[in-house]
Amino acid sequence: MPTIELTLRDDQGHIIDRRSLKRYPLDWKSRSFHDIEGAVENFKRNALPDIEADLLEAAQAALIQDKKKI
């Protein structure tokens, strides 16, 4: 089964958050166009909220660090 692996990194190449290393298996049975399209839609439904949460968490942590420096 094919798997998509995502790693979110900041501008310096550091991994953003522990959830940033995540694997998303693409589950398709017959490899038909319909199955592939469904697998990609399922990936988007699962991965995009995780990515958004990681980015928001990183932005919040950066804001907190900036406020501590002031």
The domain spans of the chain are 3-69
- Per-residue pLDDT tens over the stretch 17-69: 666 678 888 887 778 899 889 989 999 999 999 888 888 988 898 899 888 88
Query: Model pTM?
Result: 0.69
User: 24: how many CB neighbours lie within 10 A of its CB?
Assistant: 17
Q: How far apart are CA 60 and CA 68, in angstroms?
A: 12
